[in-house]
């Protein structure tokens, strides 16, 4: 009996050992069989502060080569970039279950010296593993007050059927040249439900990047982190390095990927993080002060900030959380003093636009806050609102249909004075504009800037200006 039991135990241990070996060496087996190891999860981001560089990122199983072939014509690649930095893996130890996730090899290569406002074609990969299909992207115009740009903005995207509809809607809009995602990307921090009782599943990062690849392989993905990117707080021996997967998989401009800034044509973007220190004296607060003071509004007249958790929100979900109230108290005066135009946030899984507001009072010429946490995540729409405060301009009080709550925003910056924002529902994103507003800077009425002007008034003003010309 004991001999049989011991034999069974030894066989069990042998099976576990062989399973572990197979898991660790699965990529080598693929290569040994001669199968290709072409890039997957391809995505791009702006590679420097002014838009003259682009970072291309991808994953392979085991192919170490990192090569980008780039050209101005389809299938004519005049430039080759390779080996700027070696690909790396990251390990994630689960705390709620046994096992270690080992990522594929993550490649980041930056192509620089690009011409502004130009289309480039590229393939990435290596001779050993194979190259990707051809993709293309368009660089932004040179930072300039009169440049025109169009970009999408969304938060809390996730990877549900609503997420996929949203991604497809953005792919179908040929005018978009960039995607700004204000946190909560893959929802990998819990496998099926928003609870610590359900384990983190790092493979959801892989499936998320597979889902968005058709979109973000052709336009820069610019992100700020949300609470679902923290991925810490597990029981030992689980990984508790905050933002580990986020910082490994995404390459963003600036010294710190968790808060940074960049120019995109006439827009200066400030990308911030509610989930790390933000009080006065912190590195993030110092960065914001220095960055805002250095903005040249003659070159980038529009100033847009993003962070995940909103400062203003009349929904009952995520209302006045510590990360929201604390950050507002620490930075709202800075934003007002430097005349930030718009703040985009997510976190609340619904859409809401505010009147220009400062210190919880409607204030002409103050910041316009827009919450776009309606990307399609697995937690569903955030339903239930407090009585509408005076600073809330538009929200979905009676809507319950996810197809009419989930969606994305679109921003068209026409020039130094006129910016048009539209919010597109999933129901029919091409035609179903659920909300829209023009922002007009420095129109001279009463000597004050006017922002958030109604559509009819702005269109009348533009028609009058055209008639006068």
* pLDDT of residue 203 exceeding 50: yes
pLDDT value at residue 429: 67
pLDDT value at residue 7: 40
pLDDT value at residue 455: 40
* pLDDT of residue 1 exceeding 50: no
Q: Return the beta strands (E) in 18-141 as ranges.
A: 40-46, 54-60, 67-71, 79-82, 91-93, 100-102, 105-111, 119-126, 130-131, 135-138
DSSP state string for 419-437: EEEEEEEGGGTTT-EEEEE
DSSP state string for 238-287: S---TTHHHHHH---SSS-TTSEEEEETTEEEEE--TTS--STTSHHHHH
Query: To 5 degrees, how large is the angle CA 287–CA 43–CA 380?
Result: 80
| CA–CA dist 317, 341 (Å, integer) | 25
pLDDT value at residue 59: 98
pLDDT value at residue 392: 96
Question: What does the pLDDT look like over 150-181, one tens digit per residue?
Answer: 999 999 999 999 999 999 999 999 999 999 99
| More confident of the two residues 267 and 191 | 267
* pLDDT of residue 462 exceeding 60: no
Q: Which of 150, 169, 162, 174 is nearest to 410 (CA)?
A: 150
Q: Are 44 and 217 in contact (CB under 8 A)?
A: yes
Pairing of strands 392-395, 135-138: unpaired
| More confident of the two residues 27 and 265 | 265
Q: Tell me what the mean pLDDT of segment 303-310 comes to.
A: 98
Q: Return the beta strands (E) in 155-217 as ranges.
A: 179-181
pLDDT value at residue 427: 85
* pLDDT of residue 24 exceeding 60: no
| CA–CA dist 336, 365 (Å, integer) | 9
Best CATH choice for the domain 142-183+259-460 from the list 3.60.21.10, 2.60.120.10, 3.20.20.70, 3.20.20.120: 3.60.21.10
| More confident of the two residues 370 and 4 | 370
pLDDT > 90: percent of the chain? 76
* pLDDT of residue 66 exceeding 80: yes
| Cβ contacts of 119 within 8 Å, gap of 6 or more | 72, 136, 137, 138, 139
* pLDDT of residue 21 exceeding 90: no
Confidence of residue 362 (pLDDT cuts 50, 70, 90): very high
Catalytically active residues are 318
pLDDT value at residue 28: 33
* pLDDT of residue 342 exceeding 90: yes
Question: What does the pLDDT look like over 38-61, one tens digit per residue?
Answer: 999 999 999 999 999 999 999 999
Domain ranges of the chain: 142-183+259-460
- The reported pTM is 0.88
- Can you say how many angstroms the Cα of residue 168 is from the centroid of all Cα atoms in its chain? 16
Q: Which of 341, 344, 330, 343 is nearest to 289 (CA)?
A: 330
Q: Tell me what the mean pLDDT of segment 105-120 comes to.
A: 98
pLDDT value at residue 15: 32
| CA–CA dist 271, 258 (Å, integer) | 8
Query: To 5 degrees, how large is the angle CA 454–CA 140–CA 155?
Result: 55
| More confident of the two residues 284 and 466 | 284
| CA–CA dist 364, 449 (Å, integer) | 8
Q: Which of 361, 368, 352, 276 is nearest to 317 (CA)?
A: 352
pLDDT value at residue 324: 96
pLDDT value at residue 445: 53
pLDDT value at residue 35: 61
Please give the span between the terminal C-alpha atoms of the chain, in angstroms, as a whole number: 100
pLDDT value at residue 193: 47
Average confidence score pLDDT of the chain:
87
Number of helical (H) and strand (E) elements in the chain, helices listed first: 8, 25
């Amino acid at each position: 009996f004991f001999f049989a039991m011991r034999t069974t135990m030894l066989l069990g241990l042998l099976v576990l050992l062989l399973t572990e070996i197979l898991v660790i060496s699965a990529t080598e087996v693929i290569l040994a069989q001669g199968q290709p190891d072409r890039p997957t999860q391809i995505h791009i981001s702006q590679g420097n502060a002014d838009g003259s560089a682009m970072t291309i990122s991808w994953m392979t199983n085991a192919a170490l080569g990192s090569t980008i072939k780039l050209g101005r014509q389809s299938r004519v690649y005049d430039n080759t970039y390779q080996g700027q930095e070696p690909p790396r893996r990251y390990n994630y130890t689960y705390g709620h279950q046994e096992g270690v996730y080992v990522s594929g090899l993550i490649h980041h290569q930056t192509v620089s010296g690009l011409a502004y406002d130009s289309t480039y074609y590229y393939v990435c990969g290596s001779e050993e593993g194979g190259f990707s299909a051809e993709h293309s992207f368009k660089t932004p115009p040179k930072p300039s007050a009169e440049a025109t740009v169009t970009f999408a903005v969304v938060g809390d995207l996730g990877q549900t059927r609503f997420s996929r509809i949203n991604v497809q809607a953005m792919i179908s809009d040929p005018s978009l040249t960039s995607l700004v995602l204000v946190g909560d990307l893959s929802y990998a921090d819990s496998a099926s439900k928003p609870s610590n009782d359900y384990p983190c599943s790092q493979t959801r990062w892989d499936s998320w990047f597979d889902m968005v690849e058709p979109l973000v392989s052709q336009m820069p993905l610019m992100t700020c982190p949300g609470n679902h990117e923290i991925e810490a707080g597990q029981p030992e021996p689980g990984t508790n390095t905050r933002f580990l997967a986020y910082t490994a998989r995404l390459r963003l401009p600036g010294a710190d990927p968790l808060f940074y800034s960049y120019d995109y044509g006439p827009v200066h973007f400030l990308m911030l993080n509610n989930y790390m220190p933000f009080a006065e004296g912190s590195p993030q607060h110092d960065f914001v002060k220095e960055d805002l003071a250095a903005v040249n509004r003659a070159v980038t007249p529009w100033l847009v900030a993003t962070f995940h958790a909103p400062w203003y929100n009349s929904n009952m979900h995520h209302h006045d959380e510590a990360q929201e109230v604390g950050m507002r108290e620490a930075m709202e005066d800075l934003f007002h003093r430097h005349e930030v135009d718009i703040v985009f946030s997510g976190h609340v899984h619904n859409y809401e636009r505010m009147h220009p507001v400062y210190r919880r009072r409607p204030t002409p010429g103050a910041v316009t806050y827009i919450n776009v946490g309606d990307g399609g995540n697995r937690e569903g729409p955030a339903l239930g609102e407090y009585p509408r405060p005076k600073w809330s301009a538009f929200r979905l009080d009676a809507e319950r249909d996810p197809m009419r709550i989930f969606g994305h925003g679109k921003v068209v910056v026409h020039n130094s004075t006129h910016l048009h924002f539209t919010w597109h529902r999933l129901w029919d994103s091409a035609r179903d504009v659920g909300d829209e507003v023009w922002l007009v800077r420095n129109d001279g009425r009463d000597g004050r800037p006017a922002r958030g002007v109604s559509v009819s008034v702005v269109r009348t003003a533009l028609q009058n200006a055209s008639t006068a010309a």
